[in-house]
Amino acid sequence: MDKKHTLDAMSALAHEGRLDVFRLLVRAAPQGMYAGDIAAALDVRANTLSANLTILSNAGLVEGEREGRNIRYRADMDAMRGMLAFLLEDCCGGSPELCQPVLDEIACRC
């Protein structure tokens, strides 16, 4: 992930409601959740959730897949790992391989 995409993702997550949605979808990975189930779990109105999902989707953090009349939303775990890799790229005194175990652990949980 490059700087612009990382900034877009971080901007999308810099909102309490969107962060809650993203974290819920991360917990629900890999199967994801329907919009109605997300709204119920977080006790948010449908129109508010729709706006938040649109922003997260535009930032590349969430994907929606139509299943009949419903849309199942999933956190894009590759995008999340890409953002974390970008943030950790210059860590550990110029030895990013020292941070690789953190990224590997995240990859194994999904």
Q: What is the mean pLDDT of the chain?
A: 90
Q: What is the pLDDT of residues 1-43, one digit of tens each?
A: 889 999 999 999 999 999 999 999 999 999 999 999 999 999 9
pLDDT at 96 over 80: no
pLDDT at site 91: 73
67: left (phi over 0), alpha (psi -120 to 50) or beta: beta
Spatial separation of the C-alpha atoms in residues 33 and 30, rounded to whole Å = 9
Structural domains in the chain?
Answer: 3-108 (1.10.10.10)
Tell me the pLDDT band of 107, cut-offs 50, 70 and 90. low
Q: Are 22 and 56 within 8 A, CB to CB?
A: yes
Q: What is the gyration radius of the CA atoms in the chain, in angstroms?
A: 15
Q: What is the pLDDT of residues 45-81, one digit of tens each?
A: 999 999 999 999 999 999 999 999 999 999 999 999 8
- Looking at beta carbons, which pairs linking 102-109 to residues 24 or more positions away fall under 8 Å? 106/80, 106/81, 107/81
